[in-house]
Structure 1
Amino acid sequence: MNIDRYNPCARWSDATLYQGIAHFVEVPADTSTGFEHQLVQLLAQAEQTLKAIGSDKSRLLSTTIYITERANVSWLNRIWEQWLPDGCAPSRACVKVELIDPAMLVEMAFVAAVDARVV
Structure 2
Amino acid sequence: MSIQRIEPGPRMSQAVVHGDTVYLAGQVAEGASVEAQSAAALQRIDELLAGVGSDKSKLLSVTIYLADIATFAEMNSVWDTWVDGANPPARATVEAKLATPDYFVEFSVIAAI
SS in 2 for 1:11: coil
| Alpha-carbon distance in 1 for matches of 2:58, 2:12 | 23
| Alpha-carbon distance in 2 for matches of 1:64, 1:9 | 22
Letter of the 1:54 partner, please give it.
G
Deviation at 1:93, TM superposition (A): 0.7
1:87 matched to 2:91? The reply is: no
Alignment map for 1:56-75 (pairs within 5 Å): 56-75=55-74
TM-score by length of 2: 0.94
In 1, are the aligned partners of 2:60 and 2:89 still within 8 Å (CA)? yes
Deviation at 1:96, TM superposition (A): 0.1
TM-score by length of 1: 0.89
Correspondence for 1:117:
none
Deviation at 1:86, TM superposition (A): 2.3
1:16 matched to 2:12? The reply is: no
Alignment map for 1:1-119 (pairs within 5 Å): 1-25=1-25, 26-28=27-29, 30-31=30-31, 33-114=32-113
| Alpha-carbon distance in 1 for matches of 2:10, 2:99 | 18
Q: Which whole-Å deviations, capped at 9, do the CAs of 1:30-84 have from their partners, x for residues lacking one?
A: 24x1111011101111101111111000000000000011111111222211111
Letter of the 1:27 partner, please give it.
V
SS in 2 for 1:92: strand
In 1, are the aligned partners of 2:35 and 2:77 still within 8 Å (CA)? no
| Alpha-carbon distance in 2 for matches of 1:24, 1:83 | 17
> Which of structure 1's runs of 4+ aligned residues deviate more than 6 A?
none
Gaps of at least 5 residues in structure 1 are: 115-119
Identity %: 33
Q: Which whole-Å deviations, capped at 9, do the CAs of 1:1-51 have from their partners, x for residues lacking one?
A: 1111011111111100111000002111x24x1111011101111101111
| Alpha-carbon distance in 1 for matches of 2:85, 2:96 | 29
Gaps of at least 5 residues in structure 2 are: none
